[in-house]
Structure 1
Amino acid sequence: MDDSILIDRIAGAIAGMVLGDALGVPGELWPRGKVRARFGHIDTFLDGTPDNIVACYFKAGHYTDDSAQAFVVLEALLKAGTVPPVRVLADDLIEWVKSMNGFEINLLGPSSKASLLAHSKGEDAEPFTRQSLTNGAAMRIAPVGCLVASDDHETLAETVARVSRVTHATDVAISGAAMVAQAVSSAVEGKSWDEMRADMLAVHPIAAQKGEPTWAASVAARFEAFERIADMGRAEDDERVSQLIYDVLGTGTMTSESVTAALAVAWHCRDAWRAAVMCANMGGDTDTMGAMACAVCGAKSGLSGLPADKVAELERINGLDFRALARRVVDARKTFRLEA
């Protein structure tokens, strides 16, 4: 594939992640009705409000811990040329957490906070990682999809598992994250939505075997069931589909809810801006769903398919250059390997 096309699609995945994350800030972890009552219809970047104990730390257009952790992971992967040991990933994430005073404020999800706090004290984090059912692994996994080839499901699943285990080591967390990474990887390589879906469902059981067994519902099974209910990708009524996702799949922080919801949004909307707006107004874990759904849609469309004014605003506010970062990722793809 021509490098310029690959750069555009990888830049689209990263920009999409930041777009969905930043637009979803104001209503994060609020019920759907409260989001609508306070903000009406969100279609622009807004500050987190003082009475939202999660979003209050973020100003309009700034990305949250979702994208921040993804960038920490990406930099670690680029530096190592492989997945570094858990201790290295933990130290990198802890350094970022401390720079944000993240152990003291309400910044991290419960699994990530407990695991990274244990790592920071030199304690065994496995009691926390082996019970983690939340979406912290999936929210930061898009960079893996940008680095690993889409047809090698085993390598992609193993890469996801190694990246995730620093905070999340369960079957549902790893398999849900692998589905997001796989969708991004397949999109980056120009596959159709049907091909992306097939790849995503194929990687799920491979990745699930790499995690601690749990009783959590299968993201793959829930996604397939919702497809039949909602006629995704064909129904035009975004509000109806959004309400179905909220009512049937759920939009909370559990992997089985928010990851399935994000994939449902991506497959219904098939456009990063449309997906970002849907997630921002959904209620629940709005920024995390937006980050995942829009990473997939952005990878499919490329940066050139995202709203240029929104991209420019995100780059300016966050000091980013999506194409420059994508060029580094394209170079790294040529030599990135898992070590035995």
Structure 2
Amino acid sequence: MSDVTDPQFDRALGALVGGALGDALGMPTQLLSPSEIRHAYGHVTGFVAPGEDHPVSKGLPAGMITDDTEQTLLLAEQLLASPERFDHRAWVDRLLAWEADVKARGSYDLLGPSTKRAIDLIRAGTPAEEAGREGTTNGAAMRIAPIGIMTRVDPLDRLVSKVAETCAATHATSVAIASASAVAAAISAAIDGAGWNDAAERGIEAARAARHVGAWAAAPDIASRIVWARELAANVNEQDAIAAVVDLVGTSVASQESVPAAFAVVAIAGGNPWRAAVIAANLGGDTDTIGAIAGAMAGAACGRSRLPVAKIAELKGFDLSQAASLAKGLLALRNGTPALKGAA
């Protein structure tokens, strides 16, 4: 499926597939504590089915993706449908249709708190492009990979502007936009050939550039948090680095915890996407989202051709051909190839 003769495509598809791997591996462990994960599954090193009493994942098969991957692909579709100017109303309609479909499938993994709050505001009459002014959680960062694929990392202000545009309806706060900008910039830099460490540095630059974009939120500076989280993971053994992420950085849905945690996880894994997914799955907290973000960044840096083929084959609910088509369409927008615009 991956065309190794086209490095950009290989890395773009690596971002989407790497995100799906991290998402699916963390699916059964999300919301659990590290001790609960050990008690239920031991040390997670492969796809497992969630317990029957899991609060959101019960009933899903091993290897099933969640809202993280599904919303990422939804955003890619929306970007291809309105490439010149982001259609906020159409985006909200897509999210609502997606949630209705998820409910029909019997899943409990629905829209996150920031997105749900924004949609309630929209239903009450708030314009879609203004509804996200209280959204501070990681929903924007978890699904932002398509912007990183579509938009070059330089100039940074253009990339940040594109990120902010997609955040307006649900996550229009400075902390959420800076977090999503960091992830998008890291992926974008990797698309053009940066290694995982250099890509992370570009992510930090983007977070700095976005620190005052959007509605102010009482949250720490994301760029500083990412730098700190990466420093905690440096020059210590893996066990101590993971403990630092859990005990100091945090693994909740808060952007200022889960996004720096994802950057630290990639560093601990040495840029290996599958290893990053395994580390994330055992952290506790928002494991699927941390795994999805870390997997997307590391996957973009290494490319689809270097991801574990056997693990990709075990994914459930993920259409590799669809992901490849979306990746090609997004790259066409990045590179200004009119003939491929809207491809998906």
Which whole-Å CA distance do the structure 1 matches of 2:59 and 2:330 have between them? 30
Written as runs of structure 1 = structure 2, the 5 A alignment for 1:113-128 is 113-120=116-123, 122-123=125-126
Match of 2:313 in 1: 312
Match of 1:264 in 2: 264
Q: 1:266 to 1:31 in 2, by over 3 A?
A: same
Which whole-Å CA distance do the structure 1 matches of 2:142 and 2:206 have between them? 17
Written as runs of structure 1 = structure 2, the 5 A alignment for 1:234-245 is 235=236, 237-245=237-245
Q: Which runs of 4+ in 1 moved over 4 A?
A: 102-106, 120-128
Q: Is 1:274 aligned with 2:256? A: no
How far 1:91 moved relative to its partner? Answer: 1.1
| Letter of the 1:81 counterpart | P
Which whole-Å CA distance do the structure 1 matches of 2:166 and 2:131 have between them? 16
Contiguous gaps of at least 5 residues in structure 2: 339-344
How far 1:146 moved relative to its partner? Answer: 0.7
How far 1:75 moved relative to its partner? Answer: 0.3
CA RMSD of aligned residues (A): 2.3
**1:11 pairs with one of 6, 10, 13:** 13
| Letter of the 2:312 counterpart | V
Match of 2:147 in 1: 144
Moved more, 210-219 or 51-60: 51-60
How far 1:274 moved relative to its partner? Answer: 0.3
Which whole-Å CA distance do the structure 2 matches of 1:15 and 1:248 have between them? 29
Q: 1:34 to 1:118 in 2, by over 3 A?
A: same
Match of 1:72 in 2: 74
Match of 1:212 in 2: 215
Q: Deviations over 1:58-111 (max 9, x none)?
A: 322121011111111100101222342211211111111111128994522111
Match of 2:111 in 1: 108
Match of 1:33 in 2: 35
Contact 2:67 2:109 in 1 (8 A): no
Contact 1:238 1:278 in 2 (8 A): no
Q: Deviations over 1:40-67 (max 9, x none)?
A: 0111112232312122253221210111
Q: 1:25 to 1:58 in 2, by over 3 A?
A: same
Q: Deviations over 1:297-317 (max 9, x none)?
A: 000000011111112222x65
Contact 1:138 1:259 in 2 (8 A): yes
Contact 1:46 1:61 in 2 (8 A): yes
Contiguous gaps of at least 5 residues in structure 1: none
Which whole-Å CA distance do the structure 1 matches of 2:336 and 2:166 have between them? 18
How far 1:242 moved relative to its partner? Answer: 1.3
Query: Could you say what secondary structure the match of 1:208 adopts?
Result: coil
Q: Deviations over 1:158-187 (max 9, x none)?
A: 111011111111000000010000111111
Q: Deviations over 1:169-221 (max 9, x none)?
A: 10000000100001111111111344323322221132222211111012211
Which whole-Å CA distance do the structure 2 matches of 1:323 and 1:111 have between them? 29
| Letter of the 1:49 counterpart | G
Match of 2:252 in 1: 252
Contact 2:72 2:142 in 1 (8 A): yes
Contact 2:20 2:318 in 1 (8 A): no
Q: 1:43 to 1:171 in 2, by over 3 A?
A: same
Moved more, 123-132 or 188-197: 123-132
Match of 1:171 in 2: 174
Moved more, 211-220 or 167-176: 211-220
Q: Deviations over 1:256-293 (max 9, x none)?
A: 00011011111221110000000011100000000000
TM-score, scaled to structure 1:
0.91
| Letter of the 1:241 counterpart | A
Match of 1:289 in 2: 290
Which whole-Å CA distance do the structure 2 matches of 1:119 and 1:99 have between them? 20
How far 1:330 moved relative to its partner? Answer: 2.3
How far 1:127 moved relative to its partner? Answer: 8.3
Match of 1:45 in 2: 47
Query: Could you say what secondary structure the match of 2:27 adopts?
Result: coil
Contact 2:131 2:168 in 1 (8 A): no
Query: Could you say what secondary structure the match of 1:129 adopts?
Result: coil
Contact 1:48 1:58 in 2 (8 A): yes
Alignment size in residue pairs: 332
Which whole-Å CA distance do the structure 2 matches of 1:32 and 1:336 have between them? 47
How far 1:124 moved relative to its partner? Answer: 5.0
Contact 1:111 1:128 in 2 (8 A): no
Match of 2:198 in 1: 195
